[in-house]
Amino acid sequence: MKILVINGPNLNMLGIREPGIYGSSTFADLLALLEQTGKEENLEIQQYQSNHEGDLVDKIQWAYGKIDGIVINPAAYTHTSVAILDALKAVRIPAVEVHISDVDAREAFRQISYAGMACEHTIKGHGLAGYREAILYLKAHYA
Ligand code: CA2
């Protein structure tokens, strides 16, 4: 099974600032977690991070016909991007939304998720472990 993990803007800065909200683990730690999960679960896991909305849309479109499941943390674009929502709807690849922090317990503007409207499951507030949970969800339902 091929899974694509997509991360949006500033997530490459993990561990550098705001450890109180996002924890002290770094983006490199996340990449190591994804690699380890792929090996343990016998999954082909690819990852992509961009700070640019259109690049994220391009990557979702690229996945069409090549990828069996998407794990996506659109970061700030979660709360603004109809373009990412439309791309996820267009490719119709099973998708799980992940948020490192518990967005429900934060500012009102973080309560809406456009991308989440095209995802069948959302994991929030579980830190980096949420990515592994999302991958296992896709494996359990689609492998
Ligand atoms: O909790 C999450 O995973 C978020 O998607 C993270 C986004 C935020 O805009 C969403 O509301 C919730 C922000 C990612 C930025 O990450 C930073 C990393 C280091 C320093 C500052 C921000």
Q: Which of 97, 103, 104, 106 to mutate to test the pocket of ligand 1 (most atoms within 8 A of CB)?
A: 103
**Which pLDDT value is given to residue 19?**
84
Ligand 1, atom 9, residue with closest C-alpha = 76
For 60-97, b/e burial (b = at least 16 CB within 10 A) is beebeeebbbbbbbbbebbbebebbbebbeebebbbbb
73 Cβ contact list (under 8 Å, min separation 6): 6, 7, 8, 11, 97, 98, 99, 100, 131
Tens digit of each residue's pLDDT (9 = 90 or more) over 58-114: 999 999 999 999 999 999 999 999 999 999 999 999 999 999 999 999 999 999 999
Q: Is the pLDDT confidence value at 18 over 90?
A: no
Q: Are 123 and 134 in contact (CB under 8 A)?
A: yes
22 is catalytic: yes
